[in-house]
Structure 1
Amino acid sequence: MSDVSPQHKDFVAVQWWGSVGGLHGIEPAPKNPGERGAHIVSQYFEAFPGHAVQLEKVLGSEVADHWRNIARGQHLPLEQLPSADRHTTRGQWIRAAYDAAHSPVGE
């Protein structure tokens, strides 16, 4: 994800969530096939559109439903995951899912 560098505190959680399919399809595809991000200078462009996880963005019910289905498929304890409300961010949800997936059973 273009907005979560390897030095970011959530890098491992974001990579894990992406590896189980959590980041697929949460942003609309570009209107034009092969479209790049905004032009920076010379041959350089910003990251491909839709390649930012936007950790501070409010989760939203559609993404929350999608993510809960993935969490169910990963056998995560759904009761440990935040509900989608107007305050829950994507970052909070991914961190909670990562913690639920990586905590010893019974904790």
Structure 2
Amino acid sequence: MDIPVFAGMNGSAIENFSCVIYNICFMNCTWQAGRDAPADTQYFLYWQKSRDEEERECELYIKDENCRNMGCIFQNVSIGIEKAYFLVNGSSKDSLIQFYDEYIDLYKIGK
């Protein structure tokens, strides 16, 4: 059975996703839990620097007081010309969680 691309409870995807590059090679990405996401929702961030590279999961998550992943610190980020692809999905015992994805121009956020 195929699951539709936007399967998951409405309002469960993350909100206010943003990334900041600092000290040339570090990048912080942060987000907020979806408004209607169950309390046990855990989020996972994946990114792909270019179409040629493999998708990689965040190695160093920033957690909130409930131990939920609410951000990621990336080290040794190189700013390329291509847009980077970011995907945040989630899991919960109670329901399917919608994913969030975005292409971001790292060159622009590095300026």
Q: TM bucket by the smaller chain?
A: under 0.3
The structure with more radius of gyration: 1
TM-score if structure 1 supplies the norm length? 0.23
Structure showing the higher helix proportion among its residues: 1
* Greater length-normalized contact order (CA 8 Å, ≥ 6 residues apart): 2
Larger strand proportion, structure 1 or 2? 2
